[in-house]
Chain A
Amino acid sequence: MRLICWMRRPQITGRILAAGLVFAALAGTGAPARAQHLLVPMDDAQSNHLKAYGVTFGALTDGIRSEWLLNYRGGAFLLPDMPSLRRAAALAGVAFEPVDGAALATIRKEITDGNMDAVALEKAPRIAVYTPPDAPPWDDAVTLALNYAGIEYKKIWDDDVLDTDLSQFDWIHLHHEDFTGQQNKLFLGFRDAPWFIQARDRDIATARKHDLSDIPSLKKAVADRLRSFVERGGFLFAMCGATETLELAVGARSVDIAGPFSDGTPMDPDADNKMDWTRTFAMQGAHLEFAAGVNSMSDIDGHQVNVPSRRQPLGTFSLFGFSAKFDPVATMLVQDHRNVIGDYYGVTTSFMRKVLKPGVTVLAHEEGAPWVKYVHGTYGQGSWTYLGGHDPEDPQHNIGAPPTDLALHPNSPGYRLILNNVLFPAAKKKPLKT
């Protein structure tokens, strides 16, 4: 049986055919001929984009170095041609194309000539997801994506953040936790619900264990530890309400910004002026929401989904194109086979431009809207990324809605943004050229 040598083909159908023939080769009785590399395309030729990250991550976990070909065929991965990787890709339904030396030279030439770059991926990042111990896997889009892609991670919660050395992790993810300690103001509608009472009691017990007076104090302490983690070189990725509330909690170190229902005391009436925005990652000059009856934390979020009179409709957001050779980090974070993606709500859906610090890199925005969707920046020796919204494949995401089944969305461009963040800490550090 003959293997097709990989060649850059202009037609997608040709690529699919090539991938199909590779699979067919695997079914043969004889050992397939070995190419030198396997190209995992990430454009429309890819049958399962999300699991492609898992295959690459698995290779890194096994000590196999890979390359991320930025802006080349949707951000393709280049892996060494090994039977174990062929098998892993086939089992996961990930399309790949064998590449021999001549074809690889052609690819590298194309990359050199265009707005593309090849970034070495050296080591699988050590991942932690900040999530309550009893949270179901579908409560958090990142947990869903990691599970589906087969990427290993460790769950951490308040005790772990406060008591352990976070430098054991390269990457920490936060989702819709409310770091202001107001439990997303769900007190208004769910104060009698058993799950709400259970979560409140659990957090109060943790606060007392650490000699803290209430939940807002506990969450502020946790937020500050996370700030230090980034400052010392960690990568932090946050989505949904964790983005906005982490900023507020870090900035409110010495001011009471929690409503009386959470700590028994009213918010400091001068809290807006007492916020210390020099400590925060991304935001400055935001205004806090003082009304306990309004389910919003501040004016950071552009969509305000939980305040009917302020709620903005969902549109689409566009990913920015960056120079792969000069801005490799930003380029990595926006690798996708779609540049325009449907928006989706979350406790915090978007970030108003007017409150972004000048040094923040906007990765995605909504054309003509006063808000942006996806931002990134550095802080101390580390970096952070914020992505608004809760679940890219569940735009409305109501409490109690059925969980997303990623097997039905293997090519989700929104979930790719999450997985870009997972893989990006594996990249070999290059000095920024801009």
Chain B
Amino acid sequence: MIRRRLLLAVALAAAVPLTAQEPAGPLVSKALEAETAGRNRDAIAAWRAALAAGAVVPGVLGLERVFSILAQEDSMIALFDSIIPRHPKEWQLRSAQLRTLATVGLDTRAARAFTEWRDLTPADVTPYREYARVLLFNGRAAQADTVIRMAADALGTTRALVLEVAQMRAALGLWKESAEAWRDMMAGEPYYEQATVFSLGPAPAAARDGIREALSREPASFGALQSLSLLELGWNAPRNGWTVLSKMSPSDTVVAIWKQFADEAERQRAWTTARDAFTAIHAARPDGEIALRGAQAALKAGDAPAALLLARSASPLLPEPRRVLDVLPIELEALARLGRATEAEAVLASAKPAIGEDGVRAQARTIAWAWIRAGDVGKARAALAGAPLAAEDAVAGWLALFDGDLATARTALRNTEVPGQDVISALSLLGRTRLTRSEPIGQAFLALARGDSTNASKRFEAAAVDVSEGASLLLTIAARIETARRSEERALMLWRRVAEEHKASSEAPEAQLEWARALRRRGDVKGAREHLETLIIDYPGSALLPQARRELDALRGAV
């Protein structure tokens, strides 16, 4: 009886082709059409018809998809029972059967189906691979591990299962071991870097050093290094990522990897890293567009010398209109930040035939800033002569402030379109005092504009002696500068002065908060608590109260 059935199955297998033949073609198209349109009932009927007409694999896979959408995967079980005996070695049917059985929770039957398939093709890795994948997909990493070990015992190697090994280990939280498997994988097939990043990305911080070691150990493939660099970007450590790649000798492949990394770093606003990557790409394969992006990244990173260098090397590689439109503003901005005002004026003058009078006027503010950085307020003022009025107003306000002309600055700075911290500080101070002139205040703001923070801080502190009505604010500006410079001792001294000598000032709550933070950084939790409590109790109307309460909660471990 069994023999007769087997004969029948063999005969059927010979008679029914596995893929769609001519008569089944239109039926497959009809089924696909119904499935795409979301007419699931029609799709089931059509796939069944296609299956009957000989399109076995497309028919079964189609039915699997539709029943999955309807959450009726169990409807597939009977179909597999009837069709697999007719096509026992068809791996796509076997794989679909494993998926279905696992999805509906028939684990024992799935294991039995796997065993049956494995025994049918003992030298084939496919049953192991497909079953391991199904188990991994269902979160059964430990059982997938068992299957992979069985493959190793039966086949003598898991070489063909490296991908599954890597996924399985990551799912089990065996991060270093997973990285090792991914490394092996990419030694032969480097295009798995995105899969590696997806798999290892969730690794906790404590496990990352193991991953770094596994992926970067010599000899490391390009894929492994690229994966590690992208992982580092995802872990918010772009500098580490570039360190991995920068050691590679440039070749077309390496430059392509660098380019992908630079794009990603730029997208993540990791400006210093993007600057370095673009610089390296440009050095290996000179490219005006790359150099220009490098210059922009350098400017955003606050690295004016690099921006200038890259902009100038981009210029000859770009067409004339791009030089004026894109390179010139970056070059001028970089020169301005460097205080190289004479050079900036010369560059602008040489570009005048191309950009015209209007173009020159549009850069007047940049030139003025260049002179301010150079410490020459007079020439900055001269640079603004004939410049568009809208730009002139705010800059004129700054120039007046630098001159110590507080009256003019008080009016003009109000017109600043986008007020930053510097404008807010200046306007706060100007609103606090009735003085019309003050050289010390002007000198302090000028020092700040020049980027001379040490000098600026000292000048603001000194100005507090002369301008008593704004003393607390001047000391606060000095303290903010020192805090930003991480000059802890001097910052703390200044915050203490504000908190103790100007208790009634509007800056006192900020001083208490910063004082508390400084103490907390030193590990003095008790002291930090006292100052936070002082802030909350003594300054109940302060806008800093929510922050103080939050930090107080954090100190006692409540949040």
Taking beta carbons and an 8 Å cutoff, which residues of A are in contact with B? 20, 23-24, 26-27, 87, 90-93, 147-148, 150, 188-194, 293, 308-309, 405-407
Q: Which of A24, A90, A191, A308 contacts B536 (CB 8 A)?
A: A90
Known: A27-B537, A192-B142; 14 extra A-B contacts, CB below 8 A, are: A23-B540, A24-B541, A26-B537, A27-B538, A92-B549, A147-B557, A147-B559, A188-B105, A189-B139, A192-B139, A192-B141, A194-B172, A405-B559, A407-B559
Bound: A407/B541 CA distance, A: 19
Per-residue contact bits, chain B 107-151, to A (CB 8 Å; 1 contact, 0 not):
000000000000000000000000000000001111100000000
Chain A min CB distance to B553 (Å): 7
B230 at the interface (CB under 8 A from A): no
CB-CB under 8 A from B533, the residues of chain A are 91
CB of B32 within 8 A of chain A? no
Does residue B85 face the partner (Cβ distance < 8 Å to A)? no
For A23, A190, A308, the residue with the greatest tally of chain B CB atoms inside 10 Å of its CB is A23
Q: Give residues of chain B (297-312) contacting chain A, Cβ–Cβ below 8 Å.
A: none
At the interface, yes or no: B539 with Cβ under 8 Å from chain A?
Answer: yes
Contact B545 A148 (CB under 8 A): no
Partner of A26 from the list B143, B172, B540 (CB cut-off 8 Å) is B540
Nearest Cβ in chain A — how far from B528, in angstroms?
14
- Smallest distance from the beta carbon of A146 to chain B beta carbons, Å? 9
Contact status of A148 and B553, CB under 8 A, knowing A27-B540, A93-B545: yes
CB closest chain-B residue, reference A188: B105
Give A191 to B173 CA distance when docked, in angstroms: 14
* CB–CB A91/B549 < 8 A: yes
The answer to whether A93 and B549 have CB atoms under 8 Å apart is yes
Contact with A along B160-204 (1 / 0, CB 8 A): 000000000001110000000000000000000000000000000
Neighbouring A residues of B540 by C-beta, 8 Å: 20, 23-24, 26-27, 90
Residues of A within 8 A of B552 (CB): 91
**B41 CB within 8 Å of chain A:** no
Chain B residue contacts of A405, Cβ below 8 A: 559
Chain B residue nearest to A92 in the complex (CB) = B549
Residue numbers in B under 8 Å from A20 (CB-CB): 540-541
Cβ of A24: which chain B residues have Cβ within 8 Å of it? Answer: 540-541
Q: Chain B nearest CB: distance from A330 CB in Å?
A: 30
Cα A150 to Cα B537 in complex, Å, equals: 18
Q: B residues within 8 A CB of A192? A: 139-143, 171-172
**Contact (Cβ within 8 A) A148 B537:** no
Instruction: Mark B94-111 against chain A: 1 for CB-CB distance below 8 A, else 0.
Output: 000000000001000000
Q: Are A27 and B541 in contact (CB under 8 A)?
A: yes
Q: Does B556 have its Cβ within 8 Å of any Cβ on chain A?
A: yes
Q: 3 tightest CB-CB pairs across the interface, nearest first?
A: A23-B540, A192-B142, A293-B105
Residue of A nearest to B545 (CB): A93
Q: Which residues of A contact B558 (CB under 8 A)?
A: 147-148, 150
Q: Write the chain A residue with the least CB distance to B143.
A: A192
Q: Is the CB of A190 within 8 A of B139?
A: yes
* C-alpha gap A110/B537 in the complex (Å): 33
Beyond A147-B558, A190-B139, A192-B143, whether A407 also contacts B536 by CB under 8 A is no
The 24 sampled A-B contact pairs (Cβ below 8 Å) are A20-B540, A24-B540, A24-B541, A27-B538, A90-B537, A92-B549, A93-B545, A93-B546, A147-B558, A148-B559, A150-B558, A189-B139, A190-B139, A191-B140, A192-B140, A192-B141, A192-B142, A192-B143, A194-B173, A293-B105, A309-B71, A405-B559, A407-B550, A407-B559
Shortest Cβ gap from B135 to chain A (Å): 9
**Which chain A residues lie closer than 8 Å to B173 at the CB level?**
194
Output the least CB separation between B334 and chain A (Å): 42
From 417 to 457 in chain B, residues with beta carbon under 8 angstroms from any chain A beta carbon are: none
Smallest distance from the beta carbon of A334 to chain B beta carbons, Å?
26
Provide the residues of chain B in CB contact with A92, threshold 8 Å. Answer: 549
Contact between B537 and A91, CB atoms less than 8 A apart: yes
Closest to A22 in B: B540
A150 surroundings in chain B (CB, below 8 A): 556, 558
Query: In the assembled complex, which residues on chain B have CB atoms less than 8 Å from the CB atom of A308?
Result: 71
**B71, B549, B550: residue with the most chain A Cβ atoms closer than 10 Å:** B549
Q: In the docked arrangement, what's the CA distance between A424 and B171, Å?
A: 46
Q: What is the minimal beta-carbon distance from B149 to any residue of chain A, in angstroms? A: 15
Are B139 and A193 closer than 8 Å at their CB atoms? yes
Known: A91-B536, A194-B173. A407 touches B139 (CB 8 A): no
Chain B residue with the shortest CB-CB distance to A21? B540
> What is the distance, in angstroms, from A26's C-beta to the closest C-beta of chain B?
6
Taken together as a complex, chains A and B put the C-alpha atoms of A191 and B71 apart, in Å, by 23
Q: How far is the CA of A84 from the CA of B557 in the complex (A)?
A: 22
Q: How far is the CA of A20 from the CA of B541 in the complex (A)?
A: 8
Bound CA–CA A293/B558 (angstroms): 39
Measured CB to CB, the closest approach of chain A to B106, in angstroms, equals 9
Contacts of B142 in A (CB 8 A): 191-192
Fill in one digit per residue for B68-109: 1 if any A CB lies within 8 Å of its CB, else 0: 000100000000000000000000000000000000010000
Q: How far is the CA of A87 from the CA of B540 in the complex (A)?
A: 11
> How long is the Cα–Cα vector from A190 to B172 in the complex, in angstroms?
11
Contact partners of A194 in chain B: CB under 8 A: 172-173
Residues of B within 8 A of A91 (CB): 533, 536-537, 549, 552
Q: Which residues of A contact B172 (CB under 8 A)?
A: 192, 194
- Best-surrounded residue of A20, A90, A189 (most CB of chain B within 10 A): A90
Residue of A nearest to B105 (CB): A293
- The smallest C-beta distance from B284 to any residue of chain A, in angstroms, reads 42
CB-defined contacts of B143 to chain A, threshold 8 Å = 192
Whole-angstrom distance between the Cβ of B378 and the nearest chain A Cβ: 49
Q: In chain A, what residue has the closest Cβ to B141?
A: A192
CA gap between A147 and B550 in the complex, in Å: 13
Count chain B CB atoms within 10 A of each CB in A93, A194, A308 and give the residue with the most.
A93
In the assembled complex, how far is the CB of residue B486 from the closest CB belonging to chain A, in whole angstroms? 28
A150 CA to B549 CA, complexed, in Å = 13
Tell whether, in the assembled complex, residue A407 and residue B553 are in contact, meaning their CB atoms are under 8 Å apart. yes
Q: Within the complex, what minimum Cβ distance (angstroms) separates B146 from chain A?
A: 11
Contacts of A188 in B (CB 8 A): 105
In the bound complex, what is the Cα–Cα distance between A147 and B533 (angstroms)? Answer: 19
Smallest CB gap from B107: residue in A: A293
| Chain A contacts for B545, CB-based, 8 A | 93
A93 neighbours in B (Cβ, 8 Å) = 536, 545-546, 549
Give min CB distance, A194 to chain B, whole Å. 5
Complex formed: what's the CA distance from A236 to B346 in Å? Answer: 83
B residues in contact with A406, CB < 8 Å: 559
Query: Can you name the residue of chain A whose Cβ is closest to the Cβ of B503?
Result: A29
**Whole-angstrom distance between the Cβ of B144 and the nearest chain A Cβ:** 8
Chain A residues lying within 8 Å of B537, measured Cβ to Cβ, are 26-27, 87, 90-91
Which residues of B are found within 8 Å of A148, using beta-carbon distances? 553, 558-559
Residue of B nearest to A405 (CB): B559
List, in ascending order, chain B residues with CB within 8 A of A193's CB: 139
Assembled-state Cα–Cα distance A188/B552 (Å): 42
Q: List chain B residues, Cβ under 8 A from A189.
A: 139
